[in-house]
Structure formats: structure tokens, C-alpha cells
Amino acid sequence: MRASQLFFPTLRELPSEAEVISHQLLLRAGFIRKTASGIYSYLPLAMRVLQKIERIVREEMDKAGGQEVGLPIVQPAELWQQSGRWAVYGDEMFRLTDRHDRWYALGPTHEEVITTLVDENINSYRDLPLLLYQIQNKYRDEIRPRFGLMRGREFIMKDMYSFDLDSDGLAESYRKMYSAYRAIYERMSLDFRVVEADSGAIGGNESHEFMVLAETGESLIVYCDQCEYAANVEKAPCILPEAVPEHREELPLEKIPTPNLRTIQDLVEFLQQPATNYIKTLMLRADDELIAVLVRGDRELNLLKLQHALGCAVLDMAEESAVRKLVAAGFGSLGAVGLPVKIYADQEVMRMKNMACGANEDDYHFINVNVGRDFTPHQVVDVRDAVEGDLCPQCSQPLKVMRGVEVGHIFKLGTKYSEALDARYTDQQGQAQNIVMGCYGIGISRTMAAAVEQNYDENGIIWPLPIAPYQIIVTPVNVKNDEQRAAAEKIYADLLDAGYEVILDDRDERAGVKFKDADLIGIPVRVTIGPKSLQENCVEMKKRWENENTLVPLKDLSAALKEVFVPK
Ligand code: ATP
Ligand code: MG
């Protein structure tokens, strides 16, 4: 490809809406452009990266026994009504009607479509197992589309579904996918970690996430450096270090006026007590029952854990008006003492003494609140995210925390969808049995962003070799110089013949501009032809991740490139 013809509109200015590196660099380097919030156009360089990622994914899916299918993006509402998800998927689903007022969804995922397809076209145990996958756009009207390709409303996903006779079969399919996913991220040369994950709204009972490690990742991971354990903080059980013996006496309960002080931060300043001494009291609605949950003032409530602990189908924050019907207080003045609903206390709260919390009366707080004396929880639960210093559930060493981008997610679904959609096969005894399923997703477009998030410097992107849009950029310093231009053309043609993916920067620009662009778009190797190198029958070779140029005799260029690109 000649740079003079390549459509890569680079930007000099940093786009203001781009908060994370991958978003900034993909815009600046002319890979993507925003068409609408969370909806992007991919320009030619991006398409090449995406196709390389897809190729690696396809090869590994096929190797694991997968077969590619193409399922519709426009999906009839009836399928979703049958599974029950039309009602519960909520605003994240794009919905539309046709001219006959029939409802459809733009596919956010494909369990409904594929389960129905398989059910209608298999009969016997002999037809299973099946591993079917596709790579296509998915549509999710995310509440906060952000970070460019990281959280789009239209994005590319590989979704695979496994159909097995029984749970042993599912375990085997799951194991195959687990290995295939590892192979995929290894082949892309990305630094990643596999973590135990919550299976969330999809249901099922086992799930792993594949995280590309990056400081800007949206996901927090706890991991143990003494053993292999790693988990999403949402999922990891919180195992508290041994309690330090408490010798403080329980002080008398006191009610303090706290006019207009509603947040923990307000109270920390006013009462001069650290946030760790507060009880955060949250009111929720669990399947129509109002409940209260207590967590330490500096902690965040983990809704998924709470939902598992309660075993409820629907869980939401309560409306303030409903709370006011119970007590004379709004959200900022709620507390554990005398609250007329079931109280669920995080295990950490049980260790606290002489705590502060709202008095269930606007503008008043209690201090010196003690569990047992002033309130008794209905149940003690583990409902906060894991944090640094919690103990490893496998080996009891203190856990550490790091950030990652979730690029892949695998689930055991079991019979959740086959039951809902009545998808069955006939077993050897002639009995009808539910098909046992798994589902396995990879965010293709998110993976491209994650790769940038992990591989860049102040000059631009540094693509990992296996997914770089082009491998080599050949740059004559001055295209007006006949000798340089001819030499560059010859090298370009030779490299193409040798099977490399090459850009020839034939633009009539200053060398500095061309070098800057080559760095920005992240091409792994730059071969520069200048007057000095030509005199010595050499070229300059520079690897994107190194600072120095090396002078390479023309006759050794092929060997030097092999060194970089051909795996040993
Ligand atoms: P998240 O927790 O980030 O919303 P998810 O659990 O909803 O992800 P899945 O339904 O498991 O995601 O989808 C499979 C993969 O698709 C994810 O691992 C992720 O890589 C990708 N993905 C999901 N949502 C988006 C999105 N809005 N934009 C880009 N990629 C996405
Ligand atoms: Mg999501």
C-alpha cells in the first residue's frame, strides 16, 4: 500500500472527548471515527487489525471443533418472550417494529436464536455435541457508552454456543474453549489473566473472564501471587484477615444534630471520624420487599453478591418516597438503629465498634452505635467487592489488586435456555432430555482497543506483531530524490514479493512528518532510505519498540526482517 493512497486521516490535536489512551490513539492515528454515541466507523487500518484478530479467533475456534454460522441481527420478539428475556433485558436492548407493527430486537446476544435453530434441526443424541460460532455486530444500548471501542453500542463479537448431551459433555466443551481462549490471547501477544467471574444475568454456574491487563481497564481483579487464584472483585469471596482484638469499651449511644450533612464525606469532616467508622445504610427493593443493607462507610455494595445472598429475582435501589413512608428520613440520614425492615449486614460491620450512622430522622446521626446492643441484623452476608489485603480463598495469603479489560467471557449455561425454549434431544433409551449448553464470547473490537491500551508510548501505538495492520513501512527520506525513490520502490516490491505486508511512504512530506506518522499508527518495523545509508548500500531499520536505528546492509535486510517476524 502506498501511503499517498492510504485513507488514514491522522489528527494533530488530541480529541477532547477521548478519555482513555486507546480511544485517543485510535482516533488520532486515523483508525476509527465516531458516527454516533458508542457507534464507530472503522477505517482501513482498523479493518486490517480487526481482520487479523478475527482470523486468529476463527482458526482457534475451528481447531477446537467449532463451525461458523451466520445468525440474524434482527430477531423476532417472540423468541425473547419465550425465554422470558424480552421483559427483563431492559433498556439495553434496541427494539424496533416492522411495517406490520411486529416487534424485533437488534441482537445483543444470540442464545434465543441459536437454541431454537438447533432444537428445530436436531433430534437424537447422535446429533450432539455441537459447537457453533459466529463473528458479527452486536447491539446493546449501553447506559454509558464510553472509552471508544471499549464500551460501544454497536460492537463486534465472536459468540460461540456449545450443545451437549450432559454436564460431562459441557465440561469438555468448556475445557476446550478455555484452552482455545488462552491460545487466542497468547497468539495475539497480549498480557492477560484468566479470572473467575460472576455469571451475572445470563445465569449458569461456572464462568471465567479473560482480562487484558491495563491500568485503565474498567475491571478490577484480585489475584494471589502465591498461587494461581485470580477473580473479578465482584466475584471473589471476601475472607477477612484475622480480627485484631478490640479492647475499646462500648460507649453510650448519642444522637447528634447534623444539619444538611448527607454524605459520608460531609460527616467525616463534621464528626472528625474516619469513613471506616461509619455504617453506610442502603435501602433496596428485593422482589417487592424493602430491605436494608449495611456496609462499612468506605466500601461499595456489590449488588450481584447481595442478589446471590438473597436469592431474589429482581433487586433494585429503593425509591426515596417508599423509604419516607417507613421512617422520617431520606437516604442521607438512614441508619441501623430502629429500622423497621430486615437488615442484612456485611460481615465487616460485625467487627466494628462505636460506629456512626444516620438516626432515621432527617439531619440527625447516631454515634457510638454497637451491634447486638443497638441493632441486630437479620443476616450477616458478604456483600462488598473484594479488596487488596482480603485473604486468598485458596491459600489464605493476602490478595493484590490490578486492573484489566474484559475481552472474553465464557459461561456454563446448563439447561437454562433449553428448558425455557424447550430444546431437547432423544437419548439412547428414547427419553427426551434437555440439551446442556455453554456460551463463549470475545469482544473483537474491544480486543483491538485493549491491545492499544497495553501497547503504546508517547509517540503512538506499538502494535503487537500478530495484529499490526501492516508489518513494515518503507520510508524514503526524500521522494524527490530519484535514487532514493528508486531504491525505496525496489525494496517495497521485494518485500511484497517476500510476502510481507508493507506500506511505502511515497508522500512528498518532510522525513520528520513521515516518521511521526509511522510511529503514531504503530507499524512494527520502519525501513528508512536516506542519502547516507544509500552511499554505504545500506538501509536504516528501526523497531517501533526500540529507540535506536540500526544500519543494515541491503543484502542482510531479508535476514534481519526474518529475525523479527518469523517465530523461532
Ligand atoms: P461488560 O461486563 O463489559 O458489560 P458483558 O459481561 O456484558 O461485558 P458479554 O455479554 O459476556 O459481556 O459479552 C462478551 C464479550 O463482548 C465481553 O467479554 C466483551 O469483550 C465484549 N463486550 C460486551 N459489551 C461490549 C460493549 N458494549 N462494547 C464492546 N465490547 C463489548
Ligand atoms: Mg454488559
Cα–Cα dist 322/317, whole Å = 11
Residue 157 CA: which ligand 1 atom is closest? 16
Q: Give the Å distance between the CA of 111 and the centre of ligand 1.
A: 15
The pLDDT of residue 197: 85
Write the residue with the smallest CA distance to atom 4 of ligand 1: 151
The pLDDT of residue 200: 53
H helices present in 241-357, as ranges: 264-271, 303-310, 320-326
Write the residue with the smallest CA distance to atom 24 of ligand 1: 151
Ligand 1 — pocket residues by CB below 6 A?
Answer: 109, 140, 142, 151-152, 155, 157, 406-409, 441, 443, 445-446
Site to probe by mutation for ligand 1, drawn from 446, 447, 452 as the one with most ligand atoms within 8 Å of Cβ, is 446
Write the residue with the smallest CA distance to atom 14 of ligand 1: 441
| Percent helix, strand and coil across the chain, each to the nearest 5 | 30, 30, 40
Spatial contact of 148 and 17, defined as CB atoms under 8 Å apart = no
The pLDDT of residue 203: 47
The pLDDT of residue 216: 86
Map 190-228 to HEC letters.
CCEEEEECCCHHHCCCEEEEEEEECCCCCEEEEECCCCC
Segment (H or E) for 129: none
What single string gives the DSSP state of each residue in 493-530? HHHHHTT--EEE----S-HHHHHHHHHHHT-SEEEEE-
pLDDT tens-place values along the chain, 568 residues long: 999 999 999 998 888 889 899 999 999 999 999 999 999 999 999 999 999 999 999 999 999 999 999 999 999 999 999 999 999 899 999 999 999 999 999 999 999 999 999 999 999 999 999 999 999 999 999 999 999 999 999 999 999 999 999 999 999 999 999 999 999 999 999 999 999 887 654 445 789 999 999 988 989 999 998 998 888 898 889 999 888 877 889 999 999 999 988 888 998 999 898 999 999 999 999 998 999 999 999 999 999 899 989 999 899 999 999 999 999 999 989 999 999 999 999 999 999 999 999 999 999 999 999 999 999 999 999 999 999 999 999 999 999 999 999 999 999 999 999 999 999 999 999 999 999 999 999 999 999 999 999 999 999 999 999 999 999 999 999 999 999 999 999 999 999 999 999 999 999 999 999 999 999 999 999 999 999 888 899 999 999 999 999 999 999 999 999 999 987 7
Cis omega before residue 340 (within 30°)?
A: no
Taking only the tens place, the pLDDT of each residue in 119-175 is 999 999 999 999 999 999 999 999 999 999 999 999 999 999 999 999 999 999 999
Cα–Cα dist 143/140, whole Å = 9
Write the residue with the smallest CA distance to atom 28 of ligand 1: 151
The pLDDT of residue 202: 44
Percent of the chain with pLDDT over 70: 99
Q: With H, G, I as helix, E, B as strand and everything else as coil, classify residue 439.
A: strand
For the chain, state the CA radius of gyration: 29
Mean pLDDT computed over every residue of the chain: 94
Q: Give the Å distance between the CA of 468 and the centre of ligand 2.
A: 28
pTM of the model: 0.86
Q: With H, G, I as helix, E, B as strand and everything else as coil, classify residue 30.
A: coil
Write the residue with the smallest CA distance to atom 27 of ligand 1: 151
Q: Give the Å distance between the CA of 560 and the centre of ligand 2.
A: 45
